[in-house]
Structure 1
């Protein structure tokens, strides 16, 4: 199903957070070094990591750390001793989650109301299953718009060619 159609049409089949989310999630733990987290973001080309705690059944998200969190923390310190800081010292602890079966549109509304760009997706046991990012959403919609534009272009060419044929 088209994400664009699902987000703009009443009564269509609901797209859930679990269906849309990226199942590849880069994680860190609170005790990990801040330098290590920054290097991981650089190496993976991501702007955030989900902070998790390990539990018997999987990984439970307990926070997020972003490249902005690190920068703001470092610039806000008089003499930062970055080598002594852990992820837990800097991470955002107030975590907004999306539930796997929750309608994607509800998640997007919540992201907008909180002014956040990334939300971990959890299952019924509050275990991490994925991540929804605003960037992924924009990319998906852009791809669908490109495909739609290609269809319209083909239709326009077909109509133009049909009119150019002499009737006889």
Structure 2
């Protein structure tokens, strides 16, 4: 009688393990499908956003090139803001595409966080100016990370902080 119980328990455990394996395999398949859909969405979104951005950035860059110094300084400054805004938008679009591919061959690299934070601050310079906020950053380490992801972390932290200034 005791032998039968041991075999029954083992069979139940094997059956449960097989069931959990099947559930896990289905979940992995769903995740792979979701990742593929995300990448397709990001590709389409980046393409659909890039084209209108080019239709804005090209004429602005042409005006900046042709008329720099011929207009009043405020106009030159506004044109520079527009050019920089277009460049930031293109970077965001590129990062969206890179982020959608995260985890697949995304290698870690040494990132100078001082340089990264300075880039983020430059991207947020208009908002910093609007709020009058001053951001003081001490010396930061060089870390092993994915630059796009770490940059997004700093971008979110600083942008969120500016909301409450």
Smaller-chain TM-score bracket: under 0.3
RCO (CA 8 Å, sep 6+): is it higher in 1 or 2?
A: 1
TM-score (norm 1): 0.21
Q: Greater strand percent: which structure?
A: 1
Instruction: Report which of the two has the higher share of helix.
Output: 2
The structure having more radius of gyration, on CA atoms, is 2
Instruction: Report the TM-score when normalising by structure 2.
Output: 0.21
